[in-house]
Structure 1
Amino acid sequence: MQPFVRYFMVVDVRLDGPAYGRVAPFPPTPQHCLNFYPADATRSRQGQQAFRELPACTIVGPQTTKVDLALGVQHRFVSVAFQPGGLFRLLRLPLHEVLDTPLNGADVLGPALREVSEKLQEATQLLVMKNIVEAYLLRKMSQVPASPFERAIRLLLGGNAAPTLDEVAALACLSNRQFERKAKDVLGYSPKFFARLARFSRAYRLKVNQPQARWTTISHQCGYYDQMHLIRDFKEFTATTPRLLALEMRDSPLKIQGDFPL
């Protein structure tokens, strides 16, 4: 699974307070995911839109804006986070066509995925849940090695030590123009945007895990030139400031991205 799946995550927690009474911020991440909600449904909204219930199996492709999640009392969550290019390998459609558009997995991938959702609803052990999803992916996905493009694009997740875009394109055996065109199909956006999103996501996750850390310190640790560049990215990706987003984190019923490895 390693050529196309970065990690599995299974969460099963009972939350205090009324169902859907508190909201958890979920800024964009560079990972594309296949998410299952086998217990209480999860509700989502973008901006000032009304909350709507997510499908029991939701495909989350390229995301560029923050969404808010309202969680039920019994929050059970099984997530597959793909390596860059992994979701494209599964769906085989240009991902720029589904930008900021969560998809019903059963509608896209058919009855077999609906059957996976039903098995997860019956399962009681977390490891069993992971194995159910893993078995489906092993049947569904092509077991071929990662392409030069997929191996190269992962290097942009390497933080401050990441190579330049020109170097990554050369490692992918593509010209810069070919590399850019390939990235929009496979990732949903340009390589430069992907690198910015990865840097922003590192900063956000660092703040989730270290809430007392100063934004100035975080900006330096994550490779920003200065704090103003960090603020610019936060405004673009979350439509708010780092300070206000930190208050949303504090009031969140669950620190959703704190344990997500980048």
Structure 2
Amino acid sequence: MDIKLYSPHPVLKEFVLNISTVNAILPDSMHEVVTPYPPTPFQSLIFYCNHPISMGRVHDLSFTKQAITTLIGPQYSRVNIKVHQQLSSIRVDFAPGGLYRLLGIPSYELFDQGFDATAFFGKEMSALNERLLNTPSLEEGKFLIEKLLIGRASRLKESLPIDKALHLLFGHQGQMSMEKTAALSCLSLKQFERKCKERLGMNPKLYARILKFSNAYRLHEAFPHLTWTEIAYEAGYYDQMHMIRDFKNFAGTNPTNIELQLLATPLRMQKDLRF
């Protein structure tokens, strides 16, 4: 599984955190594979350059084929991802509040769902999809995607103090008090919570929990030799029981079971996420 991370074009850094390319070819013995994908703190655009993945909920045996370009809103629930033979994709992860500033759509309207991105970007996205299907490399595809986003950058909603404060909260992996984050936003706590639902799709405490949980899950994918006690400490949990509670809430099971589920798949979809 080849994953490459790129810093975005300077024009995009105000609202895009990073861009990644993924190329994975399953072993000959595997026609398809199902991989767990718990929630991350990112809202994203994912461009599939061959056959899109299929997605299913934890307690649903059915899988739904995703759009060739999928817009991912604020994530809360774990999904299972089915990859068919090969995965070639380009992913754009937005800064906290970045997708709201780009589209002007309150994030709570996109909560815990994936959408066909052409519904938001129109004909220019359809034209880009056609070009991506014929692009010679994922790197070339990345440049085409950046070109589309650069063309939209002039329409961004203005940056407010809350946008810088949320970036700091993200940088501290959720380990910053809500009172301090609200103060940096130049807002009362109630105003801050309301603005967070607009930008993050959820209240800031829940977002901070998902940040911490996602970091713990990423650490396990990236460093499977670490014990869960070590991971809890590295991710900033007060104790292991608090981490187990978050795994049950966000991954739908405890850490031991998710570890067993990962043994059944060669793919590690989150180990290279950049926090």
- Cα 1:99/1:130, change in 2 over 3 Å: same
Q: Which residue of structure 2 lines up, in the alignment, with residue 37 of structure 1?
A: 48
C-alpha separation between the residues in 1 aligned to 2:106 and 2:158? 20
Q: Gapped runs of 5+ residues in structure 2?
A: 1-11
C-alpha contact (below 8 Å) 2:96/2:170 kept by paired residues: no
- Give the counterpart letter for 1:120 in structure 2: L
- Cα 1:41/1:243, change in 2 over 3 Å: same
C-alpha separation between the residues in 1 aligned to 2:201 and 2:39? 13
**Percent pairwise identity:** 35
Q: Which residue of structure 1 lines up, in the alignment, with residue 220 of structure 2?
A: 207
Deviation at 1:146, TM superposition (A): 3.4
Deviation at 1:99, TM superposition (A): 1.3
Structure 2 SS opposite 1:134: helix
C-alpha separation between the residues in 2 aligned to 1:2 and 1:246? 35
C-alpha contact (below 8 Å) 1:84/1:187 kept by paired residues: yes
Q: Which residue of structure 1 lines up, in the alignment, with residue 205 of structure 2?
A: 192
Q: Which residue of structure 2 lines up, in the alignment, with residue 178 of structure 1?
A: 191
1:91 and 2:87 aligned: no
1:70 and 2:69 aligned: no
1:103-252 map, 5 Å: 103-141=115-153, 142=155, 146-159=159-172, 162-252=175-265
Q: Which residue of structure 2 lines up, in the alignment, with residue 258 of structure 1?
A: 271
| Cα deviations by residue, 1:198-252 (Å, 9 ceiling, x for unpaired) | 0001100011111111111111111111111000000000110100011122222
C-alpha contact (below 8 Å) 2:74/2:200 kept by paired residues: yes
C-alpha separation between the residues in 2 aligned to 1:196 and 1:117? 35
Deviation at 1:174, TM superposition (A): 0.7
C-alpha separation between the residues in 2 aligned to 1:163 and 1:198? 11
C-alpha separation between the residues in 2 aligned to 1:213 and 1:242? 12
Deviation at 1:104, TM superposition (A): 0.6
- The alignment's C-alpha RMSD in Å is 1.5
- Cα 1:161/1:190, change in 2 over 3 Å: closer
C-alpha separation between the residues in 2 aligned to 1:121 and 1:28? 28
Structure 2 SS opposite 1:71: strand
**TM-score (structure 2 length as normaliser):** 0.91
C-alpha separation between the residues in 2 aligned to 1:28 and 1:108? 22
**TM-score (structure 1 length as normaliser):** 0.95
Q: Which residue of structure 2 lines up, in the alignment, with residue 5 of structure 1?
A: 16
Deviation at 1:92, TM superposition (A): 1.2
